[in-house]
Amino acid sequence: MPGPNRISWHDLECYGLPENTTAVINVAGQNILDPKQRWSEGFKQNVINSRVETTKSLAKAIIYTKADAFVTISGVSYYKPNDKEYTEESKCEKYDFLSKLCHEWEAAAQLPKDSNIRQTTIRSGVVLGKTGGMIKQIYLPFFFGLGGPIANGNQYMPWIHISDLVNLFLFSIENKTVHGILNGVAPQIITNKEFTKAFASVMQRPAFIPVPRIFLNSIFNKERVKVSTQYIFVIFCCN
């Protein structure tokens, strides 16, 4: 959007980043959870391009600046869902659309080995906040008493509050020893069932009836559902 101290992607391609740039953060990306968007091949390509191509553009532009830090975001979908405990050191192969997206997203952010710019990638869990994301999608079903755990509800739900995610970005910029991968997840490991119980309690609504996974898959597509119902045990281990 136009405004003071703002540049467009076109400006970035033509003129690069401002000379006084000290740090770059990229969180650009098509909203995967947007219920108005059909999970088509075109939408999936937009999801990829809005993340990978924007990251490539910034990675290309930042090397011509005197910036100290380049911070990008990815997702815990990088890790394969199972009961294994994952840390920042864990390596995983590509296994589905979201996993491939995270791998390509992170690869797009890589700077030349001789670059002096400190690089950090935050693999974020499900972002929670009152005004958007997952909470916005499930608010009405829970409000009308139709909320419930997904299937048996035992799947782990790596999450982070939006305020903590913002602070993690600031932490990555301000601390010159921080670099590499950070898992952007809360220290509390919870399951979908535990989250459902807590959210229903806050809203003072019942939430006892399990929601069949096949029902959600038929409405939102299984890849989109996976974003908020992953069996991933992720912990934050930054020293």
**Nearest CA among 115, 134, 118 for reference residue 126:** 134
Are 232 and 86 contacting, i.e. CB atoms less than 8 angstroms apart? Answer: yes
Residues 46-58: pLDDT tens digits? 999 999 999 999 9
> Which pLDDT score is estimated for 231?
53
> Which pLDDT score is estimated for 239?
46
Are 7 and 18 contacting, i.e. CB atoms less than 8 angstroms apart? Answer: yes
Residues 120-137: pLDDT tens digits? 999 999 899 888 778 888
- The listed range with the strongest mean pLDDT (60-74, 90-104, 153-167) is 60-74
Which of these ranges, 32-36, 40-44, 157-161, 188-192, has the smallest mean pLDDT?
A: 32-36
The sign of the CA dihedral 124, 127, 132, 136 is positive
Residues 149-196: pLDDT tens digits? 888 888 888 899 999 999 999 999 999 999 999 999 998 888 989 999
Residue 122 backbone phi and psi in degrees, to 5:
-100, 115
